[in-house]
Amino acid sequence: MLLAEPASTPYDLNFRLLGIPVRVAPWFWLVALLLGWNLTKVGDQQAMLLTLWVASVFLSILIHEMGHALAMRFYGMDSHIVLYQFGGLAIPDQFSSRTGFGSRRMRDDPVSQIVISAAGPAAQLGLALAIALSLKLSGFRMSFPVPYMESVISLQEGRAIDSRPLEFLLFYLMWSSVMWALLNLLPVYPLDGGQIARNVFSLYNPVAGIFFSLILSVVTGVAVAVYAFSRQDLFLAVMFALLAFSSFQVLQAYSGRGGYGP
């Protein structure tokens, strides 16, 4: 259900980027506002900060999906992008008429699917790295209070950014890009990491690959849900609990259809 493309509405925003059709559903903006509501409660500037937050989430997720779409184009697949309440989707349309990497067999090739799945998080991490390097080389500092990432992205030395809106925009862009990319790399369906795990397992065991990736998805989803609950992050806990349960249901159905399993 999370991977289902939402129906078009008269309120969608439609445009093309690098020749790729992009559609933004109205629910995307509402969910982005809700996610940033508590994060942007800083003094009497919430309206401005909330606007910057929504803009940064839009740019970050768009870049994520563009990573997927451009990787598909490399393998000869046309695609379109939809941003909706659960984030974004890069949806393949059809194989183009190009040959070589664009042959239809690429659709079932685990290596090409790993590249396509990894391209989205890689694009977001590349964006965060580009911002960090630009600030570092320009002699600016910026706080980046993400657990375990402060030592990786060290921007504690330098002069302050003169523009407060620019500082917050860059901070939100880095924060949303890094956190979204890392969450998506967890080996849980239907996240990118779950797709990567399935194809990695399939490289070594085509018969049992899906079965083992579903088990990993259930275990990882439960572990993340428990960890998030222990840190009182109810939203993350509920989300990964639902993903783990969904993977468990798929695992049961897959085994019941005669798939690999006990």
Tell me 237's DSSP state: H
Could you tell me the pTM of the whole model? 0.86
Q: Which residues contact 11 (CB under 8 A, 6 or more apart)?
A: 26
Q: What pLDDT was estimated at residue 171?
A: 87
Instruction: Tell me what the pLDDT averaged over the chain comes to.
Output: 85
What is the per-residue pLDDT across 216-257, written as a single tens digit (0 to 9) for each? 999 999 999 999 999 988 888 999 999 999 999 998 887 775
Q: Taking the C-alpha atoms of 139, 141, 146 and 152 in order, what is their torsion angle to the nearest 10 degrees?
A: 30
Residue 1 — pLDDT band, cuts 50, 70, 90? very low
Q: Which residues contact 120 (CB under 8 A, 6 or more apart)?
A: 64, 65, 67, 68, 90, 181, 184, 192
For the ranges 17-26, 29-38, 101-110, the one whose mean pLDDT is highest: 17-26
Q: Which of 77, 81, 54 is nearest to 65 (CA)?
A: 81
Q: Which of 177, 174, 147 is nearest to 161 (CA)?
A: 174
Q: Please, where are the H alpha helices in 11-45?
A: 26-36
Q: Are 183 and 227 in contact (CB under 8 A)?
A: no
How many CB atoms lie under 10 A from the CB of residue 231? Answer: 11
Rounded to whole angstroms, the maximal C-alpha distance in the chain is 63
Q: Are 29 and 13 in contact (CB under 8 A)?
A: no
